[in-house]
Amino acid sequence: MDAVRVALLREVLAGTEWPGATRRFALTLRGSVVPHGGGLLLVGTSAYEPWHLAAHLVDEAAWSGTPELRPTLVRHRVRPGDPAHLSVGLGRIEAARRGETLLVVAPDDPCGGLLERIHDARRAGATVLALESGDRDLHRLAHEALTVPEEPELDLDTVQHLVSAAAGENSLPAPAPRGRRSFRDRLSRLADQLTEPPPARW
């Protein structure tokens, strides 16, 4: 979706919560994928693959000069002969570590196996973000979640367009310094530290 269409979409949604909500989520996404970090992993559910969002983020990463926004698309089913960029399976989530960001897009209920992998990635230190349609378990697992109820004038695909466009905008304000984290962020960080597995022996 080009900049003109995004601007028109924002104009149509002016006066609703969505322009502000998608910009805030985009700011969180942009702030979590720091330069020289571990990268951005993007995964959907077994019934929904967010390849469209992946393509938009690749474009935004190039246009904004922010290569860290370029995602690795993680797929539930990888077939022999798939090109390299389409050959990353769910095992990649299990390998996620501190410094990496996992963005989950779930228009339907994620299966239990995916939730377990997301939980393990979070415990290992990855930042978990979610665009979801009301799944409580996923919402609780995410450090930041944006819930998109199915409405006639709005759906998750539209929200993905707004988030990806906002994430690539160089006018986004810088993320708050670490010392000014909200109470919820600090509490979430403490909970993660308390549930982290012990370090491997060397």
Q: For residues 175 and 143, give the distance between their C-alpha atoms in angstroms, rounded to a whole number.
A: 15
State the average pLDDT over residues 9-21.
87
pLDDT at 195 > cutoff 80: no
Mean of per-residue pLDDT scores for the chain: 84
pLDDT at 181 > cutoff 90: no
At residue 149, the pLDDT reads 85
What is the C-alpha radius of gyration for the chain, rounded to an integer number of angstroms?
Answer: 17
State the average pLDDT over residues 83-91.
90
State the average pLDDT over residues 169-184.
51
Q: How confident is the model at residue 185 (pLDDT cuts 50, 70, 90)?
A: low
At residue 179, the pLDDT reads 42
At residue 199, the pLDDT reads 43
At residue 126, the pLDDT reads 96
At residue 200, the pLDDT reads 44
pLDDT at 92 > cutoff 60: yes
The DSSP secondary-structure symbol of 185 reads H
Q: For residues 33 and 66, give the distance between their C-alpha atoms in angstroms, rounded to a whole number.
A: 9
The predicted-structure confidence for 37-77, as pLDDT tens digits, reads as follows: 779 999 999 999 999 999 999 999 999 899 999 999 999 99
At residue 54, the pLDDT reads 95
Give me the residue label for tokens 């022996």.
201
**Cα diameter, the chain:** 57
> Beta partners for 146?
131
